[in-house]
Structure 1
């Protein structure tokens, strides 16, 4: 019996330390909570400060994004100033609402320089249900696809209306990349147009007679004009200089012209550039025709030669005239009389002269014969 008791005591003594060490009461000391209510073992609490710092960095990254609007930046800075809870709310809620509005505004602004295809796409997107992912994809991808479609249409139009250089450069751009088409519309088209404009100005110079426009074209082409200067000359300046040349031409035409031509020319000079062009094209010829018709009528209404209001056979005022008075419709004075005019035209005038000359000769002969007889009678005495 003693041996058994001793063995039990030894066994109890050996197991007691292990049991005591494993016991919660032993581990936690007096006043420890009941089993099942012990707090979890933790390290010093640093989770809240760490999360706040991470949120602050996240917000700073959000407002530094190129797409961040001023409103997004203002809201982000306010959240940081208001503390951890405000930063959490900004990250989880506010930034998404603001970003949605920012994309809507950014997409709406694309219409300022958009072609018809892009405008239609924008209106369709914003007038339908959409989320942030749809807006982001449109802004980052779809808009460029629609822009390129619009660029293709515009380049095709320029090819149809442009000169040789524009057509060649435009066809090359259509076969290239979207960047090639954008570059053509931005600068390439104007360089090609400048080449065509130079050719057109040379053609105008060869076909135009006015000195003012021709001189200006020569001066322009011999300089270093920009594409914009060449285009402005063709679209504006050439017509101003054409009108100046037309004014000079009209002034020369009406100088010494008939009444109708002068009247029409002065009206054109007082009118518009189109009036002056029309005068040179048709108006001057119509006015000349009116002046010629007036001349023809005046000649027709003029008295016939030999008629001065009296019958040619009327003996009053007739007499002999000099040979110089026998041409044209000229009034002459008979020799030996006191001024009665004698109309001498046509065959009747020659007969009168011949008859008058014969009568004069006959009278002179009779006088000479009488004088001779008187001299002979005096001699016989």
Structure 2
């Protein structure tokens, strides 16, 4: 009787490990000379991709994993395999960054994605490439990316993007992706980071009197000018978060609880109270809201580059100009450290100097 046909077992298998967030981590399973070894590729895919973009990202990640598997199989069969050195340097940092974003759930997800797009543009423009092995991420390249951000972006955006970039790099360092330390010791940005348009009290009054095109966006933006709340916190704000004249909210960015006394402007702007679990401001997307604000600012005759975050900047600056101390402002903004509030001092001092210089000249 003929026995069953024997098939050669794969010496290297690509396997998946389910993470706590439901995504899948890819790793290689080696079995040779009676010994089992594993190599975690630091690559992740979505278990249930929904959009075409997510499906395409999964496809590219799996293709990368298959290429690594093929290479490891060849190394194993030729006796050249050295697992001790495989965790460092070979992974594509761009692919790793995208995989990091795919499983990221915090409020600054949009900023992380925008920073990755800028890094891709930087690689294409400076190095004519779409990928970067982790071993090639050097301090000099990182400084080059920082300079690129300063040349291409305005205001405090370069610092914001660079902070997210370092966050991803440091995560990769903890996973032993880099054969050398990839970050420069000191990075200094040009002075004058707070270039986003800041509205003074008169300009906020002009906006209140001008036609907006979307009443909800108008009320929500003016509410931000009177409370300092971020877009994400206002968009998620429900009536159950407002009790009489006070607001209680868990901030999306810091996860800290913010308790804020509402002034008369803010109380008028929220309108008639709805059901506890309904939104106070049913806003459209961030991009749609910013576009409406841009048109609204133009109609009001204000020649400044105003974004949604300008409302928070304006609130902070006007509080300082009115004479209140930075510790009070830090508490109003819900900052976890007073250092985050320091950046508003310079622009507030400039406003005070402008106010003093605006006094009429005396003839005597």
Tell me the TM-score normalized by structure 2: 0.26
| Structure with a larger share of its residues in helix | 1
Greater RCO (Cα-Cα under 8 Å, separation 6 or more): 2
Higher share in strand: 2
The TM-score normalised by the length of structure 1 is 0.26
Larger radius of gyration: 1
